[in-house]
Amino acid sequence: MARKNSGKGAGAPQVTTVVVMRLYIAGSAPNSVKAIANLQAICDQHLKNSYRLELIDVCEYPQRALADGVLVTPSLTKVSPGRTANIIGNLSDTGSVMAALGLHTRAAE
């Protein structure tokens, strides 16, 4: 089953809501590897340990991806809080990823 990463590092007092995300990757494809690294960086910088990330390798679990309606990889789904958001790509554009995850407003608080 998918690897589950709980947040690491010390608790960030100003962030109370836990962000739930799923990252769909295709094995060790370059874009997937990049996406993991990019997401890790964003999470480390902005979310500290207040997030839960589910990493799904569609090569291993295609049925799961199909059920979730995920086709291209890498693909990040923000499950909560708020509306579901989908981001495709290797997440190299940090700004748009932050916006999709609703982190800008949070960061501004």
Partner 1 sequence: MGGPGTGKTVFALQALVNAARDRKQPGIFVAFEEHPEQIFENAATFDWRLPALAKDGIFFLNAQLSPTVVQSGDFDLGGMLAILEAKKLKLGARWIVFDGIDVLLALLPGPGSAMREVYRLRDWLAHNDLTAIITTKIDGGESAAANYGFMQFMVDCVIRFDRRLEQAISVRRLEITKYRGSDFAAGEFPLGFGPTGMVVAAPEAVQDHDDASTERVSTGFAELDSMLGGGLLRGSSTLITGAPGTSKTTLAGKFAEAACQRGERTLYVSFDEGGDRIRRNLKSVGIQLDAHVKSKLLRFYSGRTDQVNPEEHLTRIAVLLREHQPRCIVVDPLSAIAKTGALSSARAVCNRLIYKLRDLNATAVITALVDGDDPQAESTALQISTIADSWIHLSYLVHGGERNRALTIVKSRGTQHSNQVRELMLSATGPALADVYSAGGEVLMGTLRWEKEAEESARRLKRHAEYSKKHRELEFAEAAIAARIAALQLDLERQRAELALYTRDGAARQTSSGERKQELRRLRRVDTASVMTSMPAKRHAGRGSPRARKNGNGGREPRRGA
Q: Does residue number 41 form part of the binding site for partner 1 (CB under 8 A)?
A: no
Distance, CA of 59 to CA of 20 (rounded, Å): 22
The answer to whether 98 and 46 have CB atoms below 8 angstroms apart is yes
- Select the span of 3-11, 12-20, 46-54, 69-77 touching partner 1 (CB under 8 A): 69-77
Q: Is 32 exposed, middle or buried (0-12, 13-18, 19+ CB in 10 A)?
A: buried
Binders of partner 1 among 75-104, rule CB under 8 A? 75, 85-93, 96-97, 99-100
* Contact footprint for partner 1 (CB under 8 A): 24-27, 29, 31-32, 34-35, 38, 58-59, 62-63, 65-66, 69-75, 85-93, 96-97, 99-100
